[in-house]
Amino acid sequence: MTECVFCKIGKGEITPKKIYEDQNIIAFLDIFPAAKGHSLVIPKKHYATLLDIPEMELKELIQIVQKVGAAVMKATQADGFNVLQNNKEAAGQAVPHLHFHIIPRFKDDGLKLALGSKQSEEKELVHWESLIKEHI
């Protein structure tokens, strides 16, 4: 069985361009960067998606996302950054091991990470408001 590539990075079997490491977390440069300094932050332990990691481990992880985000901003002298986190193939997740992307952004860089452009109708919003609340 082929093991998960990010598990291999977590175990030190593959050596990425590492920018941060502690007992549970590692951050490194993405090999297909969307922008210079594009970095990834992962737990060393395998969790497939954001829904799978225990709350306390996620808390640690998001703190490191903040730390790495600040460092990437400074190092690249970016004007901003996106934190992107894909869950499951339908959402563009190619590596099924939880990870956060940190993508530095520059004024007028032309990078397209587009969200919706059409305003929702009121009844649609009301429908999803009540349905999602039922599952919280």
Q: Which residues bind ligand 5GP (CB under 6 A)?
A: 5, 16, 28-32, 40, 86, 92-95
The secondary element (H helix, E strand) that includes residue 80 is strand 80-84
- Which residue among 99, 101, 127, 135 is the active-site one? 99
Give the DSSP per-residue string, 48-79. SSTTTS-HHHHHHHHHHHHHHHHHHHHHHT-S
Beta-carbon contacts of residue 71 (< 8 Å; ≥ 6 apart):
19, 20
**Which of these segments, 21-29, 38-46, 79-87, 105-113, binds Zn ion (CB under 5 A)?**
38-46
Our CB check for Zn ion shows the closer of 92 and 110 to be 92
Tokens of 123: 């009844």
Q: Is position 105 an interface residue for Zn ion (rule: CB under 5 A)?
A: no
Give least dist CB 26 to ligand 5GP, A.
10
Applying CB under 5 A, does 7 fall inside the site for Zn ion?
A: yes
Sheet holding 39-43, edge to edge: 18-21, 25-29, 39-43, 100-105, 80-84
Quote the least distance from Cβ 118 to ligand 5GP, whole Å: 26
Note if 99 is an active site residue: yes
User: Which residue numbers are catalytic?
Assistant: 99
